[in-house]
Chain A
Amino acid sequence: MTWLRSTGWRHLIGLATLVFALFPILFVISASLNPSGTLVGSNSLFSQLTLANYRNLLDDPMHPYAKWFLNTMVIGGLTAVGTVFLGACAAYAFSRFRFRGRRTGLLTLLLVQMFPQLLAYVAIFLLLLSLKDVFPVLGLGSRLGLVMVYLGGALGVNTYLMYGFFNTVPREIDESAKIDGASHAQIFFGIILRLVAPILAVIGLLSFVATINEFVIASVVLVDPDKQTLAVGMYQFVSQQFSEHWGVFAAGAFLGAVPVVLLFQFLQRYIVGGLTAGAVKG
């Protein structure tokens, strides 16, 4: 009884949380293997098993899932890498250099984040529409254009996050490297970026996941089915009334989740503390 009161209840809460987290995943897997194609039909988990939904998903010429998947990975990857690089450059400058407008710049970044992104959708649409006439590569319907929109949108909060982390790296390391003869680029890439790896991994992961989940801007910008992302494309499976393919949708969702999990597993090793331990006497 004492055990239950002191430690046991923690295990019970843990179990409840586990069920809460795992059940939706199990349900989606079960639905993706259920031939009925409705969600209600898969209420009894794993009652019927077939790969028909996966087959349908991959050979539907009207809904090119493989292309969406590839688009999503490319757009998500580019956005993640771009966000990390741009954010790190900006954060380094804000953290290490003293220039006119530095404080104002930091405040502006924070302030701009306060406005809901929803306000910008119309503006982004109109901007890309006119950009298409001048510079088609970045205009409406272009995947690269979408990446650019994401990069701009994500820069603010990420720069601020990174700025805080960069400040924890002692300035003396920069100065020491400067005296050792390293250029700004050598200091940035060779030393500082190595020491802020945890925040780079976190920002990269967050921005990758956010890009994969993003629906509104992607559906506004990407019109051509061949260029769409998973979120936009798969919505069509369940958006038409009376022909909702929940089974196919579940299969697509399950496959789409795989790379995110893999990326997290890969980046997890960088999300550790104490990288700057030993640099300065603590």
Chain B
Amino acid sequence: MASVTFDRATRIYPGSEHPAVDKLDLQIQDGEFLVLVGPSGCGKSTSLRMLAGLEECSEGRILIGDRDVTRLQPKDRDIAMVFQNYALYPHMSVAENMAFALKIAGVAKDERDKRVRDAAKLLDLEPYLDRKPKALSGGQRQRVAMGRAIVREPRVFLMDEPLSNLDAKLRVSTRTQIASLQRRLGITTVYVTHDQVEAMTMGDRVAVLKDGVLQQCDTPRHLYDRPNNVFVAGFIGSPAMNIRDFPLTQNGAMVGDTEIPLHREAVAMAGREGNTVTVGFRPEDVDLAGDGQPGVPVEVDVIEELGSDAFLYGHLPGANPLEDSPIIARIDPRSTIKRGDTVHLAIRPHHVHAFSPTSGERLPDA
């Protein structure tokens, strides 16, 4: 168990000028579950592979505990990794797969067997110890890959999208299992995923990356409530936050024919850059306005029924629904709104996020 520190770690692939990971600065506490999340090509896997030692650091340092591991071989870093496609050794049985690292490390056979049995018990793999990987289902293989990491008792766990090859239902249950297993073992874990739901549900903290640059690293709650910029705001949350530019007024932004009040300083800062401001609001921070109440008129294109919730997808009158991104609102699943209706949406003023229209950075709201 140990903390992990990325100190301006940079990776530039040979033949490319743009860094895959650009001056990543990240402190991961001892025992913490940190999730790296971002769209594909954002450098999250590269960051993990740099920590594993499978990818060189072009610049900067990586520390595990107090030890600088930047130039160390993977085997000297005391880490264990779970790969997206599991990478089991196909010619070895489950038990041999799990014991492989211990065998190389020269651990005595009794101790090896004991640790493999303990891990197998933890992961419900005991009946399969003598099987070869090809005789296992996808979920069992995934657990073997986890078990192989657990028996090592490493200082840091690295997981590279370990759930993306499972079917949707198994993914949800395994998600909880991994998170609770990690809390029980208390081993520092760095977890890579492109799925923001996984990131939000599993991580103590979530680091959002884009184009190799760290956008924000915070607790899931904070990330959701106070995104640092437009990218984080749009990436975290499903369905995504409604984000678009609206004309700036004296006290806020003009959305449709309604004025949404913004913080004074935010208005002033946006005013220095132009006469628009980027406003974001989450689908659940919208109410249907009753008759006579002010609201943004929206023409309904689609109603998405999820059972517990329903989401309304619509567009502002006069906008082309095929070109513009839709306005999304959460509504009562038992409401009678139909396609083609026009509804008036009231946006809850305290849940509005304002961003600079030029830089995309969050504007002050308090």
Give chain A's interface residues, CB within 8 Å of chain B: 170, 172-173, 175-182, 186, 191, 194-195, 274-281
Contacts and interface: CB of A to CB of B under 8 A. Distances in A.
Interface in B134-157: 134-136, 138, 141, 148, 152
Contact of A279 (B88, B101, B105): B88
12 contacts: A176-B83, A178-B53, A178-B54, A178-B75, A179-B52, A180-B104, A180-B148, A182-B104, A274-B134, A279-B88, A281-B85, A281-B165
Contacts of B105: 181
Interface in B76-130: 79-81, 83-91, 100-101, 104-105
A278 B75 contact: no
Contact of A186 (B52, B84, B104): B104
B136 A170 contact: no
B75 A179 contact: yes
A279 B87 CA distance: 5
B90 A179 contact: no
A113 to B, nearest CB: 29
A277 B75 contact: no
B141 A281 contact: yes
B133 interface: yes
Nearest to A176: B87
Top-10 shortest CB links A-B: A278-B134, A278-B133, A280-B85, A172-B87, A180-B101, A181-B75, A176-B87, A281-B165, A277-B134, A279-B90
Nearest to A98: B14
Nearest to B91: A194
A173 B105 CA distance: 18
B12 to A, nearest CB: 15
B132 interface: yes
B321 interface: no
Contact of B81 (A179, A195, A278): A179
A38 to B, nearest CB: 55
Contacts, number: 86
A280 B79 CA distance: 21
B81 A176 contact: yes
Contacts of B79: 179
Contacts of A179: 52-54, 74-75, 79-81, 101
Contacts of A281: 85-86, 138, 141, 165
A280 B87 contact: yes
B100 A175 contact: no
A176 B133 CA distance: 15
B90 A175 contact: no
Contacts of B138: 281
Contact of B54 (A170, A173, A175, A194): A175
A281 B162 CA distance: 11
A176 B87 CA distance: 7
Nearest to B105: A181
B89 A191 contact: yes
A151 B138 CA distance: 44
Contacts of A275: 90-91
Nearest to A182: B104
Contact of A173 (B52, B53, B89, B132): B89
A180 B75 contact: yes
B132 A278 contact: yes
A176 B52 CA distance: 10
A116 B133 CA distance: 46
Nearest to B88: A279
B128 to A, nearest CB: 12
Given A182-B75, A277-B134, A278-B133, A175 B87 contact: yes
Contacts of B165: 281
Contacts of B135: 278
Contacts of B83: 172, 175-176, 280
A180 B136 CA distance: 22
Contacts of A279: 86-90, 133
A279 B97 CA distance: 11
Contact of A276 (B54, B90, B100, B141): B90
Contacts of A180: 75, 100-101, 104, 148, 152
A172 B85 contact: yes
A195 B81 CA distance: 22
Contacts of A178: 53-54, 73-75
